[in-house]
Amino acid sequence: MLEDVIQSSEWLKARINSHPSIAIILGSGLGSLAKEIEVKVQFDYWDIPHFPISTVEGHAGRLLVGTLGGKDIIAMQGRFHYYEGYSMQQVTYPIRVFRELGIKTLFVSNAAGGTNPDFHIGDIMMITDHINMLPENPLRGKNVDYGPRFLDMSHAYSPALMAKARQIAHDEGIALREGVYLATQGPTYETPAEYHMFRLLGADAVGMSTVPEIIVARHCGIECFGISVITNVVQQSAQVSHQKVEAAAQAAQTRLTQLFKQLIQHL
């Protein structure tokens, strides 16, 4: 696997003439952030040696290299989900390639269901911590000596980046929720009983991604920052139309883009 990672990164290095230290994973429905990137070069996943290929509709499956907020960045448009049938090694493969490319900070976004009764559709939530309810940990198996066998997860999400995000949100008047993201394997959404259980377990939002990438990024010594866009809220789901959800997601994108861009500017 590590040989493959090195081949992928060497292939990319030969085609990129910048040295990005920031990577972004764009979650479902978060396309407008990509529009803000000044793309210098882009790669379809299937062109990159050994890279897994995205299967979900609405996920482009492209690696964008360019600038955002005046910084060199690399962005994944489309990620790999465990529910698609990928192994955990495949789900987290790009993160190890990022490490080889010299990435030091990872920004992730995702769509999630709100289990916190105070949340509303279209809210953006800074992920302060997570609960891994996926059936497998991506570090299972022989330890890759990128990091320790038993990884400390007490600061999975960078306290410094969270503090900066709070300040930016305050200064810009962006309503920023905070909470715990719980990852389930999906692909089914939760039954009302399951949402209730996850709330009791301490989750504010539930989704089907992000946690494996964060675990591997931390193992690689990469600082992490994550935002969930709340696309549905358990208690309010009965009264909400698809159009309202779409409109809320659209409105959320602008705030998310602004926050990411400013955070990156301040790095």
Binding footprint of ligand HPA on the chain (CB under 6 A):
111-113, 189-190, 206-208, 231-232
Return the number of other C-beta atoms located less than 10 Å from residue 13's C-beta.
13
- Residue 86 known to be catalytic: no
- Residue 130 known to be catalytic: no
- Residue 111 known to be catalytic: yes
Single-letter code of the amino acid located at 65: V
Considering beta carbons, is residue 87 or 188 the nearer one to ligand HPA?
Answer: 188
Considering beta carbons, is residue 105 or 232 the nearer one to ligand HPA?
Answer: 232
Catalytic entry in 34, 169, 208, 249 = 208
Query: Hey, what's the torsion of the CAs at 157, 161, 163, 168, to 10 degrees?
Result: -130
Shortest distance in whole angstroms from residue 253 CB to ligand HPA: 15
- Residue 208 known to be catalytic: yes
Which of 102, 9, 87 has the alpha carbon at shortest distance from 52? 87
**For residue 187, is it left (φ>0), alpha (ψ between -120 and 50) or beta?**
alpha
CA-CA-CA-CA torsion sign (252, 106, 85, 129): negative
Shortest distance in whole angstroms from residue 206 CB to ligand HPA: 4
- Residue 213 known to be catalytic: no
- Residue 32 known to be catalytic: no
Alpha carbon distances (Å) from 161 to 37, 166, 210, 211, 221? 20, 9, 17, 18, 15
- Residue 232 known to be catalytic: yes
b/e code 201-237 from CB counts within 10 Å (16+ = b): eebbbbbbbbbbbbbbbbbbebbbbbbbbbbbbbeee
Catalytic entry in 84, 100, 213, 223 = 84
Catalytic entry in 165, 209, 219, 249 = 209
Catalytic entry in 45, 59, 109, 248 = 59
Q: How far is CA 145 from the centre of its chain?
A: 24
Shortest distance in whole angstroms from residue 234 CB to ligand HPA: 8
- H/E stretch holding 262 reads helix 242-266
Considering beta carbons, is residue 111 or 156 the nearer one to ligand HPA?
Answer: 111
Shortest distance in whole angstroms from residue 132 CB to ligand HPA: 14
Shortest distance in whole angstroms from residue 33 CB to ligand HPA: 17
Shortest distance in whole angstroms from residue 249 CB to ligand HPA: 10
- Residue 59 known to be catalytic: yes
Catalytic entry in 17, 57, 193, 242 = 242
Q: How far is CA 261 from the centre of its chain?
A: 15
Which residue matches tokens 């306290």? 159
Considering beta carbons, is residue 103 or 208 the nearer one to ligand HPA?
Answer: 208
- Residue 87 known to be catalytic: no
Q: How far apart are CA 105 and CA 150, in angstroms?
A: 21
Considering beta carbons, is residue 169 or 205 the nearer one to ligand HPA?
Answer: 205
Catalytic entry in 8, 34, 81, 217 = 81
Considering beta carbons, is residue 20 or 207 the nearer one to ligand HPA?
Answer: 207
- Residue 83 known to be catalytic: yes
Catalytic residues: 28, 59, 81, 83-84, 111, 208-209, 232, 242
